[in-house]
Amino acid sequence: MAPGTRDLQLTVVAGEEDRLLGGSDDGDSDNLRRIQVGVSGMTCAACSNSVESALRSLDGVVTASVALLQNKADISFNSSLLKDEDIINAIEDAGFEAEILPDQTATRSNPRRTLIGQFTIGGMTCAACVNSVEGILRNLPGVKRAVVALATSLGEVEYDPSFISKEDIVSAIEDAGFEASFVQSNEQDKLLLGISGIASETDVQLLNDILCNLKGVRQFSIDQTTQDLEIHFDPELLGARILVDSIESDSSGKLKLFVKNPYARMASKDLEESANVFRLFTASFILSVPLLFMRVVCPRIPLLYSILLWRCGPFQMGDWLKLVLVSVVQFIIGKRFYVAAGRALRNGSTNMDVLIALGTSASYFYSIYALLYGAMTGFWSPRYFETSAMLITFVLLGKYLESLAKGKTSDAIRKLVELAPATATLLIRDTGGKVVGEREIDALLIEPGDILKVLPGTKVPADGSVVWGSSYVNESMVTGESAPVLKEINSPVIGGTINLHGSLHIEANKVGSNTVLSQIISLVEAAQMSKAPIQKFADFIASIFVPSVITLALLTLLGWYVAGVLGAYPNEWLPENGNYFVFSLMFAISVVVIACPCALGLATPTAIMVATGVGAKNGVLIKGGDALERAQKIKYVIFDKTGTLTQGKATVTTAKVFSGMDRGDFLTLVASAESCSEHPLGKAILEYARHFHFFDDLSDTKNGHSNKSFDWLLEVTDFSALPGHGVQCFIDGKKILVGNRKLMAENGITVEEHVEKFVVDLEESAETGILVAYDDDLIGVMGIADPLKREAAVVIEGLKKMGVVPVMVTGDNWRTAQAVAKEVGITDVKAEVMPAGKADVVQSLQKGGSLVAMVGDGINDSPALAAADVGMAIGAGTDIAIEAADYVLMRSSLEDVITAIDLSRKTLQRIRVNYVFAMAYNVVAIPVAAGLLFPSLKIKLPPWVAGACMALSSVSVVCSSLLLRRYRKPRLTTLLEITVED
């Protein structure tokens, strides 16, 4: 079951560049406190920036990060200098409302204050329907937010379960005349199961007794019709797998349970709706063919025509046949349009169905009137029964083709869901860890800590790490990376990827909504539910379009009728036995039918749906339509250095000793000091020293002792990390300092001229120089390099060709930053910037009104990602900055930055084309339908032709959006051929 975006948590940690060799500073101070604050009233990045600025101005705040989309602020502060009330007051003084959120560890066992539920909504035909349903939902008590998507027929509702239930929401939608059903919510203590084995009421009672006696079950409901079991349970007392095993065991194997996938139900409903529309279209077509045959063919066949003219009672035989056939089409097949029009009018709105019902009813009831009038007076006016039938037939054809096309746009989520394996092989171990057996379980019942067996050719069942075996894994379906990835012991694996060769044993650590695949589904789902700002135009037009069309149709009717009465046109224009009213009515009906706003409402959401699916296929996850619209106007792209432009794998390139100390002893001292650090540069030093000792003294290995245990390290006391400076500790009672110049200066360590020159040479070679002092004397320098990504320079050049200005920001020293920037071709460099200051760089570039994108590793860059107009978190793993980033680039390749911007531009171009398709039919065809060309060119649009044009307009828009499926991301070999658009 895919989670809502609120299930995804962001962990904010200190950045690597500004800390140099610092270790983790969590818990270094007893007074350090971290809280989360709910902030209300934020509407844009400027609001979140204001809150961040207000928090950072407080004396005692260590870090402050605001998540705009989550309406939360994450603050770490010194509790001896600040109180919770001071933070609340600072936010409120900035003009926003604030409240302290409960601690995350406590909320795990407490119910959420609000839930996010998904509902399928049937019967929506245009943007006016969407506006109507959204208005109904937003007015319900307890509903915080409601978004409805026409293209997916889905609604997402955030509601307070203490005020309103999902059943109440479904009832409210159905009372408004639409169809509705609940799909899923982000409840963590609910399980929806399918049951097999229930054959009688005795079996139901058995299941009821088992559940009543099962400790931890709060409530349950059994639907015997669908064989569904919904269970609410206490997750601290009962796990999903234990629950299923207990039911099957207590029933002696009679009952079998499996977890139901909500998307499977959604897909079946889509297919059911498409099949239903096709049946209606087929029936309408079959009944309409005889009508056309009687009107077009029979008059040319004397025998058949004489039969139709044979009088049977008050009417001719042909009239009886037409009346019966059209009545079936009008009121049985076309019933759905009357029902939909009625509910729209009941809700005080007008939509496409109102226009269709109005147009078909006008032609049908006029024909009835003409028939009765002819029977009574003998003056037979022309009848237009076939117009009503053909109109409904063409509308149903358009709806069927539209449902097929829309079904293709929603394939992205279904294909992602299909990636998830159905089953997994669980290894059963005894208390000593020995494998004693295995069993096959439902993949949705995997729990953290499970050891799973993955055979060659099968899917990895969950996110985890390899504990045994070696193999290559195809991760292209998740990350977009085509090359197989080698997996060995301790290598991470992603659920849904395919094991190609050898067998693997993996330990699951992320399951359910926490897996990468679930996060991808959640992001794609959220993007497809979102509305781009450009769609506001369509929503506004749709809200006034139908009343305007009805008014225009009445004016057309009145205009032609009055003109005829006044003799403005000759009687030869009138149909045989017709009059001015009949002549005018046909123009009015054509106007009503052709001016449907359905295509206008589909122009934006279908393009966004296809784009999000295409992006996911290429490893680029788009958070919403607003992100797409902003990304295509980007002027500046800011790159973080470490892990973004570089590979993020620091390696020691040189170790220079400036004292009489032995090189091995020097490395032992430095490695011992860094053994307590969590910084990547510290780990690089530790690994370099280990390799030195391993190869320098082979006797240990020959004697059976492995240096991989790091038993050669010295004992360290009083270790402390100094963010932005380095680390310090004591070894053998003497202080050792490992860090930058600032650390040395603050401790009175003199850096001699030849040492300074050596460090400068390192920095000018794009390396970081690390100074080491022991017992108040500088004893050596280590050079550490982080290689650039191979595609960095080409991507930077490609961005310049696209008219985008690249900027690099880093916490590293100025010389190293300049050297790296020069190598990739960036001229604008912001160096020695602390993580909190990266957001300030973003804001400084935004002052000129330019749109700015921030590309970072998604962890320490989250404030800047949130401040930017478009945030791109690169290198998606388990800690991607969901709250902050607008785009999540699943691979660590910088090519995806180009892809994100290029796809955004292509999508907005496609949306503009869609609006041309949607509006062209109305702008061009409405005047023709109204008869403006008839006086000069004798061109008019019969109502049934108008119906065909209306149907084709929607199909044209959706098919235009589907062309985005052919999108191919720019290749590196052709990247430099991109030119700036005028």
Q: Return the active site residues.
A: 640
Read off the tokens for 784: 């550490």
Q: Considering only CA atoms, which of 209, 216, 223, 218 is closest in space to residue 252?
A: 209
Strand-pair category, 851-856 with 634-640: parallel
Whether residue 841 contacts residue 833, with contact meaning beta carbons closer than 8 Å, is answered with yes
Q: Show the DSSP H helices in 620-779 as ranges.
A: 625-631, 663-674, 680-696, 699-702, 741-746, 753-764
Residue in the block written with tokens 């270094």:
28
Terminal CA-to-CA distance of the chain, rounded, Å? Answer: 45
Strand-pair category, 97-100 with 115-122: unpaired
User: Other C-beta atoms within 10 Å of 26: how many?
Assistant: 13
Strand segments, DSSP code E, in 608-648 are 620-622, 634-640
Type and span of the H or E element at 393: helix 385-409
Residue type, 67: A
C-alpha–C-alpha distance, residues 612 and 907, integer Å: 10
Sheet holding 851-856, edge to edge: 620-622, 887-889, 870-874, 851-856, 634-640, 805-809, 828-830
C-alpha–C-alpha distance, residues 541 and 130, integer Å: 13
C-alpha–C-alpha distance, residues 672 and 655, integer Å: 15
C-alpha–C-alpha distance, residues 811 and 817, integer Å: 9
Read off the tokens for 760: 């400068």
Type and span of the H or E element at 387: helix 385-409
* Torsion of the alpha carbons at 831, 837, 840 and 845, rounded to the nearest 10: 20
Type and span of the H or E element at 435: strand 435-442
Note the residue count of the chain: 982
Chain Cα centroid distance, residue 683: 36
Q: CA dist 577 to 221, 381, 531, 788, Å? A: 67, 5, 52, 84
The SS3 call for residue 788 is strand
Type and span of the H or E element at 234: none
Burial 372-409 (b: 16+ CB within 10 A, else e): eebeeeeebbbbbbbbbbbbbbbbbbbbbbbbebbbbb
Residue in the block written with tokens 């011992």:
672
Q: Considering only CA atoms, which of 874, 837, 870, 835 is closest in space to residue 853?
A: 870
Q: List residues bridging with 646 in a β-sheet.
A: 788
Residue type, 95: G
